[in-house]
Amino acid sequence: MDMAASLQPSAVQQWMNNLAAHENALLAQRVAAAEAKAAAAELLKDQVVEAEARAAAAEAWAAAVAEERETEKGAEGDAAEGAAPSWLARLAGGEVDSLGEVEVVSAVSEAAMTARAPAESLDDVAAKQRWLKSLDVPMWGRAAVALSEAASDAAGMAALSAQCDSGDDVSCRILSEQEEDSQARLERLNVPNWGAAAAVLSVAASDAAAVSHAALEALEAFGFNLKGYRPKGGASPEAEEEE
């Protein structure tokens, strides 16, 4: 009896030690996981900052190259060629309803076809590269984003219409509250319903993204080919990065 009594405190102490060790191990795991997450977040932040810096340097350098080229050529035709058309500026500014104009839809579609078309000869490659370099890359990028957002909104309205048709009172009430504005937008887009609007906007967004991507690739290739070249008032993106 006395021996059992003497062993009991020792067993309790051992249990407490084991519990403390287990809690310490769990705490260490949590600390390690938190540190790993913090390190990953910091790495992602650094990558974002680096990407933004490279993009800013590339844009500034490309602008310097374009300015020097226009100055040296002094050519009005060159400046006119590089100027963004008014319909593109409208799309980039969020005026996506201008897709209701046949000329705008055709212009976006033709630009995308040219951007996607494979070059069949060296002359074709050179001509296509000149055309791509003449484009306003940021403008096409903004147009693609605006069209994509509008396509998403139109798809949401199409879903509401489908829910209303299936008897959902809430969806019908929302559509009723926006009926006048919705009808006006559909008329400007020259489409019968939101499903058709979503389709038109999605195709245009895809086309604008294709042009933007192709033009950006051409700009990057142009920068690579002129590596080490320093235009007046600007440096190459590689030089900016090294600094």
pTM for the model: 0.58
Q: What is the pLDDT of residues 161-195, one digit of tens each?
A: 999 899 888 889 988 998 888 899 999 999 999 99
Q: How far apart are CA 180 and CA 58, in angstroms?
A: 45
To the nearest whole percent, how much of the chain has pLDDT over 70? 62
pLDDT of residue 205: 92
pLDDT of residue 241: 45
List Cβ neighbours of 98 (8 Å cut-off, separation of 6 or more): 87, 90, 91, 104, 188
Q: What is the pLDDT of residues 205-223, one digit of tens each?
A: 999 999 988 888 877 765 5
List Cβ neighbours of 102 (8 Å cut-off, separation of 6 or more): none
Average pLDDT over residues 33-56: 55
Backbone angles phi, psi at 158, to 5 degrees: -65, -40
